[in-house]
Structures are given as structure tokens and as C-alpha cells.
Amino acid sequence: MAAVEQSLPRSAPLAESAPAPLLRAEAVDLEYRDGGRQVQATHQVSFELYPADRFVLLGPSGCGKSTLLKAVAGFMRPAAGRIVLDGRPVEGPGADRIVVFQEFDQLPPWKTVLQNVMFPLVASRVLKRSDARERALDCLDKVGLSRFRDAYPHQLSGGMKQRVAIARALAMQPKILLMDEPFAALDALTRRKMQEELLALWDEVRFTLLFVTHSIEEAMVVGNRTLLLSPHPGRVRAELDCTEFGLESGGSEAFQRKAQHIHSLLFEVPR
Ligand SMILES: Nc1ncnc2c1ncn2[C@@H]1O[C@H](COP(=O)(O)OP(=O)(O)OP(=O)(O)O)[C@@H](O)[C@H]1O
Ligand SMILES: [Mg+2]
């Protein structure tokens, strides 16, 4: 019985114990208005995120991945459709959704590592100072940065800065952790290491992740489910189960075959 359960995708809603989706995007159109010009970023994008999902948005540059993330974060409202979190439409930003960006400069440089991680906890009055310090130290420990708690961001490598940003986000215990190409600016080895660490962290904490990338391999390794988006404006091409793949499966034939399949789904023009 246990083996059967394990082979099911984690997010697969089982008939009786089906968890409700944590987040639902329903036919979402997102648009920018630039003076008189209107740019449509996505067209009727729908997906569902279940608790402890590692859900990936994958698609070519300009297909609207970051825009979708912004909308889930509440920085942008859909022109049509809606985004529902825990049964309520998303109407603005909130501490229940925290974003980790690609840029290394997302940490205020005048705060130490510990102060950076504590700051949102204290500023949003989630915890009192002493409790915030304790939780921040715990999260820094989880990302392996306890020794650097008194360092300033400029004293850290790019990978370390991203670890601080992840610790800061996790410390808030958001309902959904949103990551927009968080490892894209890192060298290949560090990127791989960060993917490993993220998965280890997920194993420990079981947070719900919405992760954006344009790397097919990264999507397959990081995600349990991946939404493929067409080129601009982004439409859903397919949703794929990637549960069977992990960091160790990179060179396998099944991995290569699936990567090729994803590539053709992404780039072949549908007739
Ligand atoms: N602030 C903005 N004003 C006007 N148009 C925008 C703005 N931001 C993005 N766009 C447009 O919306 C579309 C989607 O952009 P978005 O940044 O979401 O793409 P993306 O999939 O994240 O791409 P990348 O992989 O390059 O990060 C693009 O055509 C882009 O030019
Ligand atoms: Mg982007």
C-alpha cells in the first residue's frame, strides 16, 4: 500500500482525501498598459497549486512567467479571470506570499545577514523581536549560514545572498514561496548546489513552491508538476508530471526523452 501511495504524484488529489487546492488561477489574462500601448502578457492561463507542491512555470523569455508570479504575489490584477488563494480572490500583496527574485541585490546592504532575515518578521509584527531573532537564526541554520549572521551582503557570494533571501522568505512561513529564476544568475556548479539545497529544504519543511524558470532541466529537477507556456502571450501548452525526476536523474535516458518532449511541446507551432 505504501509503495502505491509513494508512486503517485504528491499533488494528485486522491478520490477521498483530496486536498483542496491552495491556489487556483482561473483563465487569467494579464496585461500591461504602456501609455497608449497595451501588451498582453498571458491569455487564459489556468492552474492549481496544492499544499507542498513544487509547481514550475516554464516557458520562453517573454511568455509571461514573471507577470504571472507578480499577479499571484498581488502586485498586479488580472484583466480577466481570477486568482484565488485559500478560497479568497487575491487582491493585493500579503505576508502569506513571499517572492525570491533573481537579482542578488534584493537584500538591504546596510543590514547584517541576521538583521535582513529578521526585518520582515519584525516590520510586519509577525513576531516580537526576541522570537523573530530565534526564528531567523533557525532559518539561517537551515540554509547553512549561521556563521555568517553578522556579515553584510557585500561580503557574501551570489549563492550566499540567495540563501539569505530564501531564509528570509521561509522565516515568514508563507503559504506559498514564490521564486522567479532565483538561480539563473549563478554559475552552473552553484546553481546545481542551490537546487540540491532547495530540495533538501523542501524535504525538511514541505513548503508550497511556485517556481519560475526557462530551463527545461531545472524545471524537471525542481518541480513535481510543470506548466508549459507558449511564447508571448503565454498560454498553457501542457501540464506535466515530473515527480519521477530528481537531481540524480540528469543523465538518464528517461530524463533526456522527457526533456526532448518538453522542448518540442514548447517550441513546435501547434497546427
Ligand atoms: N512593465 C512592463 N510594461 C510593459 N510590458 C511589460 C512589462 N513587463 C513585462 N512586459 C511584457 O510582458 C510580456 C511578459 O513579460 P514577463 O517579464 O512576464 O516574461 P517572462 O516569461 O518572465 O520572461 P523572462 O524569461 O525573460 O524573464 C513581455 O512581452 C514583456 O515585454
Ligand atoms: Mg521573467
CA-nearest residue for atom 25, ligand 1, is 61
pLDDT classification of 10: cutoffs 50, 70, 90? very low
Between CA 166 and CA 139 the distance in angstroms is 9
Q: What is the pLDDT of residues 166-201, one digit of tens each?
A: 999 999 999 999 999 999 999 999 999 999 999 999
Provide φ and ψ at 16, rounded to 5°. -90, -40
The stretches of the chain forming alpha helices (DSSP H) are 2-7, 65-73, 113-123, 129-142, 158-171, 188-205, 216-222, 253-267
- 104 CA from centroid of ligand 2 (Å): 15
- Which residues are within 8 A (CB) of 252 and not within 5 positions of it... i.e. 6 or more apart? none
Under 8 Å between Cβ of 48 and 21: yes
How many angstroms does the Cα of residue 42 sit away from the middle of ligand 1? 10
Q: What phi and psi values does residue 150 have, to the nearest 5 degrees?
A: -100, 5
Question: What is the pairing mode between strands 209-213 and 54-58?
Answer: parallel
Å from CA of 62 to ligand 2 middle:
7
Q: How do residues 114-167 score in pLDDT, each as one tens digit?
A: 999 999 999 998 899 999 999 999 999 999 999 999 999 999 999 999 999 999
Ligand 1: does its nearest atom lie under 6 Å from the Cβ of 13?
no
Inter-residue contact 118 to 132 (CB < 8 Å): yes
Residue 113 has pLDDT above 90, yes or no: yes
Model confidence at 213: pLDDT above 60: yes
Q: What is the CA radius of gyration of the chain?
A: 19
Q: Residues with Cβ < 8 Å from 220, sequence gap 6 or more?
A: 226, 242, 245, 255, 258, 259, 262
pLDDT in tens, 26-63: 999 999 998 889 999 999 999 999 999 999 999 999 99
- Distance (Å, whole) CA 127 – CA 106: 22
Q: What is the pTM of this model?
A: 0.91
Name the strands in the sheet holding 88-89, side by side, starting at the edge strand that comes first in the sequence.
37-49, 23-34, 80-85, 88-89
Closest among 218, 235, 241 to 25, alpha carbons compared: 235
Q: What is the mean pLDDT of residues 94-113?
A: 94
Grid cell of 232 as nine digits: 508571448
Confidence class for position 17, pLDDT limits 50, 70, 90: low
Closest Cα to atom 6 of ligand 1: 32
CA of 66 to the centre of ligand 2 (A): 4
Rounded to whole angstroms, the Cα distance separating 258 from 121 reads 41
All cell numbers assigned to 58: 516554464
All domains in the chain, ordered by first residue: 20-96+176-271 (3.40.50.300), 107-173 (no CATH)
Any atom of ligand 1 within 6 Å of the Cβ of 6: no
Contacts of 82 (CB under 8 A, 6+ apart): 26, 28, 89, 90
pLDDT tens digits, one per residue of 74-86: 999 999 999 999 9
Is the CB of residue 32 below 6 angstroms from any atom belonging to ligand 1?
yes
